[in-house]
Structure 1
Amino acid sequence: MTVAVVTMGGTIATAITADGALPSETHAGALADLLAARGADARVVPFRNTSSRQVGAADMAALAAVILAEIADGASGIVVTHGTDTLEETAYGLELVLGTRPGVPVALTGAMRGPGQAGADGDANVLAAVAAASDERLAEYGPVVVFADEIHLARHVTKVSSTRVDAFGSPGWGPVGSVVEGSILLRHGVPATDHGIVGTADVGEEALSAGGPDVEIVHAYGGATGTLLAAAADRLDGVVVAGTGGGHTALGLTTAVKDVLKAGTPVVLTSRCPDGEVLRETYGGEGSELDLLGAGAIHGRGLHPTKARLRLAFALAAGVGPAVAFAGEM
């Protein structure tokens, strides 16, 4: 089995300088040396070397195209090295485009401590990801995040710490597996649903670049006025509301959300809580889930707001109706 290791940049690909950690030009070579020293049947595919805070939906679509090209060229598994700030978003973006369609394991990883720092974790994470990408059983799980010897589903994983090396978790779900002595131990069976959206398979980088769907997240908080949403509403193609609790908004934000809906712009209702579903029929009154869903907001189906934003953006770029994109089990 040949694993293609596609590089995207991030902490794992940095060098320490007087101006802080910056992208290093030696990352791909160092990866190749590591894999060769461990006897791994893997090849390094330099793609991008950028901070993950700059990685958007268009980059995810471009990465998906590279992955499919590598598979067509004989790769039996894929590892993507990536910055941790938005690693979970790229993992989910790949799931939207690829789903389980590639037929091979796809594992994303990175590092919290860069080369040269005490306790650097990049090498261990890469080797664990290569082990995961070499286990054909994981092809049925869609893209996964492999970090600190844990394996997480793209739809559930999130960065839970800004500094610890065990930076990722799946609140309410936990990892689906782990890496032990280079072997994969699976704790949960194959997910019941493929998270890909019908129609997104052919969405390319161009459709998601500048001029593509502009979908923003609006975070609710106590007494939120909705001023920013009202000011930007006519420039947006879609809105994701990260509501309080079970999907609630203060009166001012509620008015702004309803105005957006009246203008025909899709709004997806999610919760800012790290775990739990948006409610459907528990609370009434202005700004409740009954009120917002009744006004036409789309139920976010338990997705984290950042992932709901990606799902809406990819659906709009593919010409898939937002209600269709969020229908069914998540």
Structure 2
Amino acid sequence: MSQHRSGQMKAFFRQWQVQSMVIPGIVWMFVFCYIPMFWLIIAFMDYSIAKPMLQSPLVGLKHFEDFAADDRFWRSIRNTLGMSAIKLALGFPIPILFALLLNEIRSLRFKRAVQTISYLPHFIAWTIFGGILLNWLGEGGVMNQLMMALGIQDREILYNSDPQYFWWIVYFSDVLKETGWSAIIYIAAIAGIDPALYEAAELDGANRWQRMWHITIQCIRPTIAILFILAVSGMLGSNFEQIFMLKNNMNMRMAESLDLYIYNMGLVSGRHSFSTAVLFARSLVALGLLLLANYTSKKLSGESIF
């Protein structure tokens, strides 16, 4: 063990220029992720922005009891879990499928073109992409024209004003915008597979689909497992910018996610301690989901983060 550790240290010092490139990331994480954790203490205070934090009176679990008795909080939980469940069940496999199909394209020029086009929506801010989407879904928009041309509907529908469509609008817009970008890590994992495995399988008579199932998917299974664990742990989170752009007074019943609830309570209503308590509780539940998903994945597939 000591020789192994000594070898690691020697390799580290030989590559100190490369290793030092991680320092800005560590500093950023410490400043913006770890130092702000100190302010979680205001979840147990009756905090006022008009006076120093440590002069605010302690109130114990009062804010936790308040949000637990708030029907609006439980509605935001329902909406968040509903949207996250749809994304996890129907959205998580799509980047994997996209990466698998992209890997089967033999024309390098066409493959690069498809990759580039699929990445582009990710770099469009939600303020712009959301505006385009609202235009498509509005009266006289592309969606209404397409549905009427196909005979699926006989009149125009204001999709974004009807709460029953909101979760699906969030799902499809997320798939449209993020599929290409989310597939990058799978494409990188596929690129690391030894080509000799495919050659041996081809000599044994395996067709393209058999090679995809028995080689490609099996080799990227650890990557899939890790990303699935992280997706499960993030189920109480939501894409705040996406929800904020698509919500309105008519669909708010189905649109207010937990992130939007925290924003409304903290910044709009000025209830800083209350919103911090909600955020603190959400973080604890997210940690529990991470541990549960990691344990389940290790038991079922042998793959885990730790």
User: What interval of TM-score do these two structures reach, taking the shorter chain for normalisation?
Assistant: under 0.3
Scaled by the length of structure 2, the TM-score of the pair is 0.20
Q: Which structure shows the bigger proportion of residues in strand conformation?
A: 1
Q: Which structure's relative contact order is higher, taking Cα pairs within 8 Å and 6+ residues apart? A: 2
Q: Which structure shows the bigger proportion of residues in helix conformation?
A: 2
Scaled by the length of structure 1, the TM-score of the pair is 0.19
Higher radius of gyration, 1 or 2: 2
